[in-house]
Structure 1
Amino acid sequence: MYKLFYYPLNASMAPHFILEELQTDFELILVDRKNEAHKAASYLSLNPAGRIPTLLDGQQVVFESAAICIHLAEAHPAKMLIPQIGEHNRAACLQWMMYLTNTLQAELMVYFYPQRHSIDSSHISAIVAAQEKRIADIFALLDAQLENQTFLVGEQLSICDFYLFMLAIWADELKQPPLSFEYLNKYLRRLAKRESIINVCKKENLSLVDYQ
């Protein structure tokens, strides 16, 4: 049985979506960020980066959210959440997964933690404003990608879609949230009807009312 070390609405949400979509047995283990549990020696022995999430797959430990998503999808090829080696869309799937984690997620982290990017507190508001624009540009690119296709990687649901849904949830407080983009809006509302996403949002106490 898989064990997912998680905290609600954190980067563990995408692997949580994947586990629900796979309909496989798994156990959720709460890592209480409020009490710095992710910095405890017992957790650091699994994940020396001290970040959430971490996945236990038998004796194998995997950390980094995107890596966990890829690992889970490749362990369950029948669910077709990642194209197999040699398949036409595999490169596109990996491309978008890396774009989401290395570009969109990275820019969101600067937006949420601007104080980490300057030692001068007077710079904070300017950093946040700049990030609003950078993130809006990223969502515009994703919106264009979705204009003529159902999912981020063509017509096949993939790990990228669950990862993007997680990041879209994080970004709903922006001046230009994902739902303000025409094709992203339709796409996110479709995804929000999936049982796996509904189940995870119930467990993590997130309302999907904005996506209905």
Structure 2
Amino acid sequence: MYQLYYYPLNASMAPHFILEALGVEYDLIKVDRKSNQQKSSEYLALNPAGRIPTLIDNGTAIFESPAICIHLAENHPDVNLIPPLGDSNRPVFFQWMMYLTNTVQAELMVYFYPEKHTLDAQQTAQIVEAQESRITDMLALLDNELKHKNYLIGQSVTACDFFLFMLCVWVDEFKKPPLAFNNLGRFLKNLAQHSAIKTVCEKEGLSLLDYQ
């Protein structure tokens, strides 16, 4: 049985979506960020980066959210959350997964933690403003990609779609939030009907009223 160390609405959300979509048995273990439990010696023994999430699979600890998502998808090829070897959509899958994590999520970390990216505390507000503009441009790129498409890759949901949903949840208070984009908003409202999304959002305390 899988074990997912998580915190609500954190980077563990995408792996949580995928575990539900796979229909497998798993245990959720909450890591209390408010008390910095992710920096405890017990947690660091599993995840030396001291970040959430961590997945335990048959005694092996795996960290980094996209790595967990890909691992789970490949462990259950029958659910088709990742294109198989030889499929023309497989490199496209990795392209978008890398874009979402190495570009969008990386820029979001600067947005959410500006104080870690300057030695001048007076600059944090400007960093946040600049990052919101940069990330909004990335949302526009994704919006254009989703024109005439229901999913990022192929004709069915993949791990990339769950990852994108998670990132969009994080920025729903932007001046131009993801739901304000025509194609991206349609994509999110459609994906919000997925049973895995509904179940996880209920467990993690996120209302989906805006996505109806």
Same fold (TM over 0.5): yes
- 2:71 aligned partner: 71
Amino acid at match of 2:198: I
Residues 51-70 of structure 1 correspond to what in structure 2 (within 5 A)? 51-70=51-70
1:194 paired to 2:157: no
Amino acid at match of 1:180: A
* Whole-angstrom distance in 2 between the partners of 1:173 and 1:116: 22
* Whole-angstrom distance in 2 between the partners of 1:72 and 1:33: 24
- 2:15 aligned partner: 15
Residues 17-166 of structure 1 correspond to what in structure 2 (within 5 A)? 17-166=17-166
Q: Give the gaps of 5 or more residues in structure 2.
A: none
* Whole-angstrom distance in 2 between the partners of 1:10 and 1:142: 21
* Whole-angstrom distance in 1 between the partners of 2:124 and 2:56: 38
Deviation at 1:156, TM superposition (A): 2.2
Which consecutive aligned stretches of 4+ in structure 1 deviate over 3 angstroms post-superposition?
none
* Whole-angstrom distance in 2 between the partners of 1:96 and 1:167: 13
TM-score after normalising by structure 2 = 0.99
Sequence identity (%): 58
Amino acid at match of 2:119: I
* Whole-angstrom distance in 2 between the partners of 1:142 and 1:75: 28
Deviation at 1:154, TM superposition (A): 2.8
Amino acid at match of 2:130: A
* Whole-angstrom distance in 2 between the partners of 1:132 and 1:65: 22
Q: How many positions carry a matched residue from both structures?
A: 212
* Per-residue Cα deviation, 1:91-144 (whole angstroms, up to 9, x for no partner): 000100000000110111111111111111111111111111100100000000
1:205 paired to 2:205: yes
* Whole-angstrom distance in 2 between the partners of 1:173 and 1:113: 16
Deviation at 1:75, TM superposition (A): 0.2
RMSD between aligned alpha carbons? 0.7
What SS does the corresponding residue of 1:81 show, helix, strand or coil?
coil
What SS does the corresponding residue of 1:141 show, helix, strand or coil?
helix
Amino acid at match of 1:120: D
